Amino acid sequence: MPFLRGIIFLTALACINLYAGSVFVLANKNSEKSKKLAEDYCKLRSIPKENVVILDVKDSANISREDYDKKIAEKLFKVLKERGAVKDILNSENPKHALVVKSDVDYVVIAKGVPYRISEEKISPDAKISATANNSACVDSELAMLLKGKYELRGMQKNPLFGLNRQRGDYKKENFLAVSRLDGLNFSDALNLADSAISAEEKGLRGRAYIDMSKKYPAGDKWLLSAKKTIEELGFDVSSDEKPQLFNYFDRFDAPAFYFGWYTDMPRYYPQSKDVKYSSGASALHIYSYSAQNLSNPRDWTPSFAARNAAVAFGYINEPFLTFTHRSDVYMHYISRGFEAGEAAFYSMSAFSWKGIMLADPLYFPLKKTLQSQLEDIENGKIDGLSQYAVIRKMNLSLLENGNARKAIEIAESFIPKLNEKFALNWKLALLYGNLDEEKSITLARESAKEAKENFQNFGLAFEISDFLKSKNLKEESAKLCLEILNSTNDADFLQKVIPVLLKKESFSANEREFLEKKLSNLNKKQN
């Protein structure tokens, strides 16, 4: 496939170039933790400490428009000029009156502790404020416009660079700032965004993709399907759900490297669980109007992603309207071409001075470490639980290239002896053997289930295998596997949602049914 080979070539080429640019980090003078976070991030990315801009603002989520202008916008603009990162031919002290002709700023990174919501303010006492013509905004989104002079504050400003035809550095040539934030439920989560990114750069982005459509608004689903296509062309396994409901406990959710979905108010099922961890370097977006309204709230999608080891998490502080949300398909287009997450995100957002936010280290290259390098690590004994997903990716690329299941099987079997965890790889093999050797397929499925049932995050895969066993008329074995899964956890939410379904569909013995019904009854009583 020429297109696929082109993507791989461009990715490899892009990753040759090491970062050597200008990054400025904003921290809050009134928060020691904010300043420490900025300092730690600079050390991780070798950013000069003099590029930390200390702001004298309240340690609060909200900031007034007046304080934003004076204490954030004007202060940052002054520093950028002093450091020679921005050239203003009018030499103005106020960015609204400036005429910027050149910017060398690669990224602005905001440390937790700096406000992220600019409060709504009426233009006049009698002014009526509509949903799309208000002057509230995300601080990060407003800062994207810092070098653009004076502009209308009511409503959003269209991003002229939004779309698929941009080259590296276009946003700098047009004097926009690419802004992201290190934030989350706590300062540990905030710094981990960078740690997660760097880990993926060193070991490779490995795992699977999960695309959760809504079947409510065709446009959004179309974007998700387009993102899915790009991810598949990169070789990643993809699970997609076309039901209106979220992925639930019966669906796979092992090693999410990409999660794009919508549309519900808060995380549920696996995304809700503290025991679920995203792959290092994962990108995550759940399109919901208030997904980042409160970055300290574990029931909001965006900080929830950060708390579970994602490296990139998108969201909205208030109603953005669908057209002005981040486009997962555009983001993946640039990621597949080897762009940094910060620049890919910039071109995926259609409006600034608006509601969107990105929690991420913008310097993160998701595809920095090539698949070939990941496979060489396995050959050299550098393995972990995610190594198997690199092999699966190699298999998928082989299948895309020639459609030969035997060849893909050969790839897998050459690596299996070198791996310590291989439940996902064994299941992939079981499915490939399905039409070639049924007995072998069942044996591999059993091997996969043996590992998967021991880890909460992998229960969805284990349930998938139980359905497979049932389809082979192994009903008692399927029921036994389900019972073993239930006995492996005390998670009340999981058990309350799963047991009633299994009682209807599985061939449990009378004693097993009695045991499960009693267990469910006790859980319900405890909850009440």
Whole-model pTM: value is 0.92
The answer to whether residue 435 is domain-embedded is yes
Domain co-membership, 353 together with 402: no
Domain co-membership, 238 together with 382: no
Name which residue leads in pLDDT, 272 or 352. Answer: 352
216 class by beta-carbon count within 10 Å (0-12 exposed, 13-18 middle, 19+ buried): exposed
Q: What is the DSSP letter of 60?
A: S
Q: Give the dihedral sign, CA 217/220/221/222.
A: positive
pLDDT digits (tens, 9 = 90+) for 117-176: 999 876 655 555 555 667 889 999 999 999 999 999 888 999 999 999 999 999 999 999
Q: Which residue has the tokens 């801009």?
A: 53
Domain co-membership, 314 together with 439: no
Per the structure, the complete domain to which residue 494 belongs is given by 371-527
- 527: its two tokens: 């909850």
Name which residue leads in pLDDT, 246 or 224. Answer: 224
Domain co-membership, 413 together with 454: yes
pLDDT digits (tens, 9 = 90+) for 33-48: 999 999 999 999 999 9
In order, the DSSP letters of 301-346 are: HHHHHHHTT-SEEEEESS---GGGS--HHHHHHHHHTT--HHHHHH
Domain co-membership, 330 together with 475: no
Count of positions (residues) in the chain: 528
**10 Å Cβ neighbour count for 344?**
27
- pLDDT of 7 > 50? The answer is no
The answer to whether residue 366 is domain-embedded is no
- pLDDT of 6 > 70? The answer is no
| CB within 8 Å of 156: residues ≥ 6 apart | 132, 324, 351, 352, 353, 354
Strand partners, 445: none
For residue 263, which of 218, 308, 303, 329 has the smallest C-alpha distance?
218
| Alpha carbon distance 282, 311 (integer Å) | 5
The answer to whether residue 365 is domain-embedded is no
| CB distance 311 to 364 below 8 Å | yes
